[in-house]
Structure 1
Amino acid sequence: MRFDIISVLPALLDSPFAHSILQRAQKKGIVEIVVHNLREYADNKQKSVDDYPYGGGSGMVMSIPPFAKCIEALKSEREYDEVIFMSPDGVTLNQTIANELSCKGNIIVLCGHYKGIDQRIRDIYVTREISIGDYVLSGGELPAAVLVDAIVRLIPGVLNDETSALSDSFQGELLDAPVYTRPADWKGHKVPAILLSGHESKINEWRHEQAVARTRKRRPDLLGE
């Protein structure tokens, strides 16, 4: 799977993509992540990628030509399943979307800045707009990193235990059950006895009950309540 991230501040993505699961996935050759500096596709001497908005108003708008030039260059090299724009007014990212996108091949991700990007880029090139929450950040780089991480960990071979992702919160529309590790008794706070019983079927039943109870308490909307 390949991700091409288009950003005006690519250095913001150096750390997220160089550690932990994302680093491991790239070293294994399972995933390729390439970050493109949008300024390299600007035609003016100043390498500026923004301009004043038509109709007036505050803030600057990211221009069409640099984005179009970069997207067209990438599309000339390979086919892409999605061109995703990280936007606060997009569809909120959830596990179902991450699951779906993990089955794709090549994805372009656009990172906006300033007041946003020219609407025509969204109309012509973007196939999907995704938000990571109902708030505004300074740019699309951090949301892009969140999106890539959520997708990559689902790809077979990335996690050491491939069944781990299947029991994460939101898989099956439930939050995860409580988890424990050693010591079994810490200052009088004990691990539930069922988890020490060795009865796999009973443990699975307990975990499901706990998952439902936690979901009902914290996210009843997931249960349609």
Structure 2
Amino acid sequence: MSPRAYQAMLDTQDSLNQGWREAQIKNDNLADEVARLKADTASLGRKLASLEENLSSSSSEAQKLAADLAEREDRLKEVEEVLRKRDEASNALKEKLQRALLGFEESGLSVDMKDGKVYVSLTDKLLFPSGSIVIDERGKQALIELAKVLNTQPEISIAVEGHTDDQRVRSLGQIKDNWDLSVLRSTSVVRFLTQEQEIDPIRLTATGKGEFTPIDTADTPEARSMNRRIEIVLSPKLDELYQLVK
């Protein structure tokens, strides 16, 4: 073989070797790219699966929340309807009492409504002689008219609250202080309503609050007169409402 032919063969071999090396590099690069693509694909697959799981979970949670919200809205409507009926009943009762007790307003009687309850407030001068727990005749007449209405409303609960002013009570036999006076006046009214007017005793409660819930805190005779009172609080029974909010 001539030197020229031999050199040509070497040049060809070098060229082939160089091409193989370049091809190998490209192949290695492609393998690396394939590995990266596979890794990326696997990672994306996991992310997609996680996303789908989260979406499914979120969708399920959203559906549950929507169902809970709908249930609460229905419950709210029921409660609002019961309260509406309560207020209607209380308003009707208030109007009946105002008509029945119209003649006693100038003597210190008032009828008001608050928070679904009717408050009949009677000053002590309408019911009792000064320092006494014995109901006078004018007070009895007011309670008789009140009882006529209450006996037609058996679903109404009745709380009788005694209140005094903040002046210390001088010892009056069994009456030791304002607590005693407020309680004993309250029980006098309850006793009259149950024993004389035959209102079912199970409907009534008697409490004494002394001087601690005044209407007017001013240090004047007028304010103290307003604070000395019996409040008869009338509440429609809310059995239906209590069942709803259990």
Above 0.5 in TM-score? no
Structure having the higher strand fraction is 1
* TM-score relative to the length of structure 1: 0.30
TM-score (normalised: structure 2): 0.28
* Larger CA Rg, structure 1 vs 2: 2
Greater helix share, structure number: 2
